[in-house]
Amino acid sequence: MFSGIALEIKDINRHVERILIYSILSGMAIILVVLLSYEVYKNNHVVVRDISEFSIGDDSSITYEIENPFQLSDDGYYYVSGWFVQKDNMYEYYNYGADLHSEGPYNDMHFCLIENDSCYIIPTKLTRRDDVESVLEGKEKGYCGFFSRVKGDFDNDEIQYGMLTVNPEGAETLYVFKKQ
């Protein structure tokens, strides 16, 4: 009689353990989905900041080319691409996989639209541009190409565009481009 009750209690304990494990796994999956959704949102929306928050970079320290300046497409967006390089701006780093100390560019940059005192930081995809090396006397600059998609609401002659760069220490510099 008691052995039957002991078996039932064991079955109940196994069932409770399964429910607990599934609940924990489901909770972890929900947390993972929320975190991934936040990362996608954070990297794919326009951020508006005051221009006074950045140091303004010197034009003589950069080289850039906007290859297709603001032409409105059929879908209501401007597609902007080009390349941007900070001259003689290399950072030391350590490659753990190769056990190698070296130096190279730090490509953390975002295309910006500047209107009055506001800076609209646009989601920017960086692309590898091997063709740019010939312009830079063979110096490899990694992912110096960029591509941005800008909503058509920014069609204004007073708007300037530029590039916001962040160095490894976190200092932000805004370079304002001359109109082409």
Supply the pLDDT for residue 22.
Answer: 92
C-alpha–C-alpha distance, residues 105 and 113, integer Å: 24
CB-based contact 134:63 (threshold 8 Å): no
135 has pLDDT over 70: no
Angle at 89 between CA 86 and CA 95, to 5 degrees: 120
pLDDT tens digits along 43-72: 678 889 999 999 998 888 888 888 876 677
Kindly indicate the confidence band of residue 138, based on its pLDDT and cuts at 50, 70 and 90.
low
Rg of the chain taking only CA atoms, in angstroms: 26
Supply the pLDDT for residue 164.
Answer: 93
Structure-model confidence comparison of residues 25 and 135, the more confident one: 25
How many CB atoms are located within 10 Å of the residue 130 CB? Answer: 11
Mean pLDDT of 27-36: 93
Kindly indicate the confidence band of residue 140, based on its pLDDT and cuts at 50, 70 and 90.
low
Kindly indicate the confidence band of residue 170, based on its pLDDT and cuts at 50, 70 and 90.
confident
Reading the block at residue 75, the tokens are: 């879908």
| Averaged confidence pLDDT in the chain | 81
Supply the pLDDT for residue 33.
Answer: 93
User: Helix (H, G, I), strand (E, B), or coil: what is residue 169?
Assistant: coil
155 has pLDDT over 70: no
Core vs surface per residue 79-97: b (16+ CB within 10 A) or e: ebbbbbbbeeeeeeeeeee
